[in-house]
Amino acid sequence: MNLRLPGQNIILYNPVPASNQFGRFRLKLTLHFALLSFFACAAIAAFSISAHAQRFDVAGGLSTLDAPGVAYANGVTHQPESLNGTAYLTFSGDFLFYHKTIGVEGEYVRKEGEGSYYLLNNTPYRPMFYDANAIWTKKFFHRFQAELVGGAGLESTRFYTAGCGSGSSCYANKNHFMVDFGAGLKVYPLDMFIVRHIFLRPEGRFYVINNNREFSSNQVIRYGASIGYTF
């Protein structure tokens, strides 16, 4: 059965037999591999140019989203379903190759639990955000470092449905291009031994999502905090 958004002649998804999920899985792996290859190539190039002025950070944390509520939707270009609220898991990494100040950064953000899209009979769904950014950092105190990021990526909302085969679930992704920019503040609270490389980072991001008609608005703000380590 094809599911359509109310008031639109648009198929949101068509349940796919479980046998076809392997192809999607391989495509997803290919995209992830391409992204990882990009960062690997950037790291190798940076290493050859500036072998003694590099830094690599990894971090994970929790965030929440602030988005316009359902009252802002018009039912045609935007549906009365908001991305506002709930917890999101955040994973990020950056590589600074120019005087430990300028580099590249990547993030993956996903909703911690499945939501319920009531416009499609409470279909379970999960929003995810992928982005690759340029990053600039500036150390202004001994244990404080500000950072600015900006780039582009993908908002991918996964809609789930059951009944595609024995013991399996099907899903389809609705993907939208987006641009993002934001800021963070790294704080290194400890100054001893190996733990001096651990940081806490309050952070915020602003996403502008192209044609995000499944939800109430094209604009979303994410804010939260991460804990990470500097190599």
Domains in the chain: boundaries: 3-230
**CA gap 111, 125 in Å, rounded:** 9
pLDDT score of 59: 98
pLDDT score of 208: 98
CATH number for the domain whose boundaries are 3-230: 2.40.160.20
Which residue, among 184, 89, 178, 177, has the nearest Cα to 135 in the 3D structure? 184
pLDDT score of 162: 72
**CA gap 150, 206 in Å, rounded:** 9
**CA gap 133, 136 in Å, rounded:** 10
pLDDT score of 170: 86
Point out the residues of the chain with pLDDT beneath 70. 1-52, 163-169
**CA gap 81, 68 in Å, rounded:** 9
Which tokens in the block code for residue 207? 């996403």
Count the alpha carbons within 13 Å of 171 in the hemisphere toward its beta carbon: 19
Q: Are 150 and 133 in contact (CB under 8 A)?
A: yes
